[in-house]
Structure 1
Amino acid sequence: MIKVAMVEDDLDVSKYHRLFLKKVDGFELIGEAHSLEEGLKQIHQNQPDLLLLDVYIGNTSGLDLLKQIRAEGKNIDVILITSANDAYTVQTGHRYGVVDYLIKPFSFTRFQEALNRYRANRFDNNQTFSQQEVDRLLHKGGQNQVYTLPKGITKATAIRVLRCLKDANDWLTANELSERCFISHVSLRKYIRFFEAEKLIETKLIYQNSGRPFQQHKALPESSHFLKASFI
């Protein structure tokens, strides 16, 4: 479970953020603050994984809290949630390593996308990276992202399969996906494993009252990057 803290001075807005957060699996709100001082205290006490941070907090700025936790070396990820859309605020958030930036008002779909993307890209502290993975991480997004295709995976088929899954906008079994994109089950399994490794799709196991369980697959928001990416 990913531990979340929130700093938001508007009580009505924080209520909607709580409701949104409850609808996304895998996240737990462990602290809510309405001032910078209270927010910093909760960060020190609760050690959250993720901070949802407003910028305009009374007469203070959430950017000051962001700078302080970075100066303290706190290993906490931050999503800025704010009506501030000026260049200075956006650039400062980027420079201080926010993982996403939501401009109020926003939809639940965009909120959910931010959390799902964060969860998909979240690091394990024991994780190590190859040069290609580091390059992809630091130069990710749109056409700047570069994928290395393993042997047996072609660009054209990978794009076709992923587009079929993304266009479905729902969970599909391997049989359903095979029929939609006209690919054999044997070949499809290779692409499914590749997409899972790249965290482009999500897979869940469905148990039945009788018979063997089966898997369903769904495209993650990150799949959009793959469809625009470069390949080596």
Structure 2
Amino acid sequence: MRVLVVEDDPMVMRLNVEFLNRIDGVSLVAQCEDLPTARDILASEPVDLLLLDVYLREYNGLSLVRELRRQAQGVQIVLITAASEMETVREAKHLGVSDYLVKPFEFQRFQKALHHCLETHQRLAGLPARAHQRDVDALFRRDVGAPASLRPGDLPKGLTANSLAQVARAAIAHCDGVFTTEALSEDTGMSRVSVRKYLKHLVDRGVLEESFHYGQIGRPSFTYRCLDAKALSRLGA
């Protein structure tokens, strides 16, 4: 699924791109900070999903949404914005945006929005010339199920149950506060890269909560907090 990001805040743009890079099945077509550039890209490049801010200096992102709807373009749209007033939310709903994320947001919420759009994209691509009711039901229901990699008990390729248990046991020791990849790397003796893969899996399963921010020198930093100590205990047993 090809994605265009329209955002005029450099920090949020970096965050959006970083989050996108962590999701399989999507690719960044382009990124820009204003609507004229976004229109040019949409006219010249195939785009499946538009991640769009509402407040863009002298522009309003909803004006682009209106244009796309008048043109009957099939691009999905997720608004990522600080605009929380109900007038804007109502109009976005009426215009048929796929999702609406209010800044600041966590990766887990971003991931949920992208997975829904990716699933819709894949289902539309797989529809026959004449759809059956079951095809339409699957397309219009939002509760069609999580991606296979998120099913309880499944492990993504490259992860092992023994190492997952080791990371889970280390995380349990930090359940009374927040912790970092580095802390668990020291506790387990595993590399930070390996630990990050297991922590990502635990975040995907809703066992941990991940927070993301840029440090003083602009390097991304992740911290984690336990959401389900019982699940961690079961995984670490």
Q: Secondary structure at the match of 2:8?
A: coil
What amino acid is aligned across from residue 131 of structure 2 in structure 1? F
Q: Is the 8 A contact 1:31 1:46 kept in 2?
A: no
CA distance in 2, matches of 1:6, 1:86: 22
For structure 2, the 5+ residue unaligned runs are 145-149, 162-203, 206-237
Quote the residue 1:134 is aligned against. Answer: 136
- 1:168-187 matches, within 5 Å, as 168=153, 170=155
- 1:54-203 matches, within 5 Å, as 54-122=53-121, 123-124=124-125, 126-127=127-128, 128-135=130-137, 137-138=139-140, 140-141=141-142, 166-168=151-153, 170=155
CA distance in 2, matches of 1:24, 1:48: 17
Q: Secondary structure at the match of 1:134?
A: helix
- Residue deviations 1:59-110 (CA, integer Å, cap 9, x gap): 2210000001111222211111111122222222222221111111111111
CA distance in 2, matches of 1:74, 1:84: 24
CA distance in 1, matches of 2:155, 2:58: 44
Normalising by structure 2, we get a TM-score of 0.57
Alpha carbons of structure 1 residues 171 and 26: separation in structure 2 relative to 1, 3 Å:
closer
What amino acid is aligned across from residue 81 of structure 1 in structure 2? I
Q: Secondary structure at the match of 1:4?
A: strand
Q: Secondary structure at the match of 1:102?
A: strand
Counting aligned pairs with the same residue, the percent is 32
- Residue deviations 1:184-220 (CA, integer Å, cap 9, x gap): xxxxxxxxxxxxxxxxxxxxxxxxxxxxxxxxxxxx9
- Residue deviations 1:22-62 (CA, integer Å, cap 9, x gap): 11111111111111111111111112111101111112210
Q: Is the 8 A contact 1:6 1:32 kept in 2?
A: yes
CA distance in 1, matches of 2:34, 2:117: 25
Normalising by structure 1, we get a TM-score of 0.58
Alpha carbons of structure 1 residues 171 and 23: separation in structure 2 relative to 1, 3 Å:
closer
Quote the residue 1:12 is aligned against. Answer: 11
Q: Is the 8 A contact 1:21 1:29 kept in 2?
A: yes
How far has the Cα of 1:126 moved from its partner?
A: 4.8
How far has the Cα of 1:119 moved from its partner?
A: 1.3
- 1:213-228 matches, within 5 Å, as none
- Residue deviations 1:84-141 (CA, integer Å, cap 9, x gap): 1222222222222211111111111111121112212221175342224424544x34
Q: Is the 8 A contact 1:33 1:42 kept in 2?
A: no
